[in-house]
Amino acid sequence: MSDKITNILLVGVGGQGILLAAEILSEAVLLAGFDVKKSEIHGMSQRGGSVVSHVRYGTEVFSPIVPEGEGDILFGFEMMETYRSLSLLRQGGAVVANDLRIAPPSVLMGQETYPEGLAERIKERFPDFLLLDGQKLASEAGNPRTANTVLLGAVSRRLDIDEHFWLQALEKMVPKKALEVNKTAFLLGRSADWNRP
């Protein structure tokens, strides 16, 4: 193992299941034998506010938060939150985003508009960009509620963690009755084509 620390950011809206996805990711990394730290803010942010979770792994991790501008992968569950967090990434970092819009209060009330063309704007700054329709792929996997697992599968392709550690982590963290569909969803995401135009 090298001294390199891998920095992953998971961002979205409170209630989207970001914390669980970060837990599964951390568990897989632990099983693979790495040191790992994970950090996020609970509390006020639960009520539909922005959520940012940091996961870092490597031989020895010090800070539980990703230093500014050093993120390797941004894992976005919602488009505007993905775009908002781009400044956390290093130049040349990768972005996986769920093609989902959740309107914040000011947009719901018609005072502001939800920004357009976010996917194009992200790709301009970070060409290593994968946009997925998590909900659609999750339905294909058999349950629209597994969108997070599909996205996690896509992220997993970019990390040096063997597949069986991911599946083991899912077994530990996902309730038994939902396990099979989550495994299917994970593998579907894992097969996503990062190099498509």
Measured from the CB atom, the residue of 117 and 197 that comes closer to another protein is 117
Does 40 bind another protein (CB under 8 A)? Our answer is: yes
In one-letter notation, the amino acid at residue 185 is A
Report how far residue 23's alpha carbon sits from residue 42's, in angstroms, rounded to the nearest whole number.
14
Strand 6-13 and strand 50-58: pairing? Answer: antiparallel
Does 50 bind another protein (CB under 8 A)? Our answer is: yes
Name the minimum Å distance from CB 16 to another protein: 12
From the list 20, 99, 104, 190, which residue makes contact with another protein (rule: CB under 8 A)? 104
Does 175 bind another protein (CB under 8 A)? Our answer is: no
Closest by CA position to 52, among listed 62, 65, 63, 61: 65
Three-state SS sequence of 132-189 = ECHHHHHHHHCCHHHHHHHHHHHHHCCCCCCHHHHHHHHHHHCCHHHHHHHHHHHHHH
Return the residue matching tokens 């979770």: 53
From the list 6, 7, 38, 52, which residue makes contact with another protein (rule: CB under 8 A)? 38
Q: Which of residues 3-22 bind another protein (CB under 8 A)?
A: 13-14
- Candidate ranges 111-119, 147-155, 179-187, 189-197; the one touching another protein (CB under 8 A): 111-119
Does 61 bind another protein (CB under 8 A)? Our answer is: yes
Name the minimum Å distance from CB 193 to another protein: 27
Name the minimum Å distance from CB 79 to another protein: 11
- Candidate ranges 81-89, 133-141, 146-154, 177-185; the one touching another protein (CB under 8 A): 81-89
From the list 1, 59, 68, 164, which residue makes contact with another protein (rule: CB under 8 A)? 68
- CA 173 vs CA 13, 19, 21, 160: distances in Å: 21, 12, 9, 20
- The dihedral region occupied by 137, where left means phi > 0, alpha psi between -120 and 50, and beta the remainder, is alpha
Measured from the CB atom, the residue of 17 and 104 that comes closer to another protein is 104
Q: What is the DSSP letter of 114?
A: P
Interacting residues with another protein (CB under 8 A)? 13-14, 23, 26-27, 30, 35-50, 61-65, 67-70, 80-81, 83-84, 86-87, 90-91, 103-110, 112-115, 125
